[in-house]
Structure 1
């Protein structure tokens, strides 16, 4: 991991904004993609020298006012603004997710969360921690994920499975999109100073190479918390699933629920679960 992620994020955001998007002429002989430092500095009301220090990591403690001005000038989304604030905290030696009130890894799944899972049967639902470890799941999830190898091993991990198990690319026809989402979630949710996160990132860097590192270095990527996922199941055949993510922030966990996106998938999941047709009904996305 870079020791200047705040500066890298600012530079990448600057380079992703075209002059036309902020009302500036494109001009000629532009060697820099997106905005020049001088242009962003003028828009944000800061000096070029100060912006240079931020991007180069020589100043890691900008004020809230400066952050807001830069975010406004760059047109950052709410998620991007949260990422900017988080990277500022980490650059200053703190981590908003590693404080006295933050949950420790391995804290387990609360009985009430397990009770929620029980009531979700036969829908495939899983509890994940912020690094993608599988902590608990429904029987429906075991029947969905078990045959593709996702639950193999003593402590299954979605990222490790996706990047190191050849079966994952068969199971997920849209593998690239799934990989984008999982790595973006790791970047946005995991405390990056956690030794376990470092170990997992180092492991995947060695085993998966650029497929992981290119995504992990993309500070601007945003994970989808809802959406459609395709799956090629060895027993149920092709599946089209909607997924919804429910946060359990006190524990650093999330519940991911998969629901059939069409009638064919609903029928296939019913057969997989050994239930009468109609136990699971297709969910229609709002247009």
Structure 2
């Protein structure tokens, strides 16, 4: 990894946040879709020169106030703020374990969360914990991923399936993109010394080698709340899916809902669910 992880992290997030997401006009002649240094500096209330020093690694000890202002300007999640603080301390030679001990790893979904899943039927929806264990899901999700083997294990895990089951590479036409996103979520969403994270990371480094380890070491890839997947289903054929992720931070869980990205996928999911054609509607991908 780079010896300037803090600067890389700040620059990566700055380039990932669009002006519209930051409440700024897009304007003409932008070379990149992200924020300019001057825009982020203004939003955070710091000088462009100081932000440049941070990104280039010439200043590695910003105050808590500066970090908070940058995190607010970039709209970072709690997990991303924890990682930002960790990188700052490591750059300064301090103790990286700034956060409190991680909560007990959740192995079940709350009854109210399961009730939400019931209301989402027959849409494919799943609840996972912070390391990707499948805790609960709709029958629609079972019909979607059951035939590709994702739920075969006694304790299914999204990352373990993706990196160790050969069926995943056949099922996911965009396997590399799915792998990038899942590992980025694992890498950025949990304190790095969390024991459950370390155990899973060690396991996948041994079983999957560089394909997992290189992604896990890469700070430049950040997780997305929304995204798309191209799934080859053994019964329904080629499916193009969008997904929306809703965080359940108190439990360290997230709810992922899959939606059809085109009319053909909507019709195929209707057939899987035994519903009349047209019951599901495609959702336009505006990302």
TM bucket (normalised to shorter chain) is 0.7 to 0.9
What is the DSSP-based 3-state SS (H/G/I as helix, E as strand, rest coil) of the residue aligned with 2:231? strand
Superposition TM-score, scaled by structure 2 size: 0.75
Look at both structures and tell me which one has the larger radius of gyration over its CA atoms.
1
Q: C-alpha displacement at 1:124, in angstroms?
A: 0.2
Structure 2 residue runs without a partner (length 5+): 15-30, 39-47
Q: Distance in 2 between matches of 1:179 and 1:84?
A: 23
Q: Is the 8 A contact 2:37 2:51 kept in 1?
A: no
Q: Distance in 2 between matches of 1:143 and 1:104?
A: 31
| Structure 1: 4+ residue segments shifted above 4 A | 13-17, 20-23, 45-48, 51-54, 65-69
Aligned residue for 2:249? Answer: 249
What is the DSSP-based 3-state SS (H/G/I as helix, E as strand, rest coil) of the residue aligned with 2:168? helix
Aligned residue for 2:215? Answer: 215
Give runs of aligned pairs for residues 106-185 of structure 1, distance below 5 A: 106-185=106-185
What is the DSSP-based 3-state SS (H/G/I as helix, E as strand, rest coil) of the residue aligned with 2:281? coil
Task: Choose the corresponding residue for 2:95, options 92, 95, 101.
Answer: 92
Q: C-alpha displacement at 1:144, in angstroms?
A: 0.5
Q: Is the 8 A contact 2:247 2:254 kept in 1?
A: yes
Aligned residue for 2:5? Answer: 9
Given the superposition, is the C-alpha separation of residues 141 and 68 from structure 1 closer, same or farther in structure 2, using an over 3 Å criterion?
closer
Q: C-alpha displacement at 1:149, in angstroms?
A: 0.7
Given the superposition, is the C-alpha separation of residues 279 and 47 from structure 1 closer, same or farther in structure 2, using an over 3 Å criterion?
closer
What is the DSSP-based 3-state SS (H/G/I as helix, E as strand, rest coil) of the residue aligned with 1:250? coil
The number of residues matched between the two structures is 250
RMSD between aligned residues: 3.4
Give runs of aligned pairs for residues 44-63 of structure 1, distance below 5 A: 44=50, 54=60, 63=63
Q: Deviations over 1:111-164 (max 9, x none)?
A: 000000001000000001010000000000001011101111110111011111
Q: Is the 8 A contact 2:246 2:254 kept in 1?
A: yes
What is the DSSP-based 3-state SS (H/G/I as helix, E as strand, rest coil) of the residue aligned with 2:250? helix
Q: 202-211 vs 134-143, which deviates more? A: 202-211
Q: Distance in 2 between matches of 1:164 and 1:215?
A: 15
Q: Distance in 1 between matches of 2:153 and 2:53?
A: 54
Q: Distance in 1 between matches of 2:191 and 2:6?
A: 20
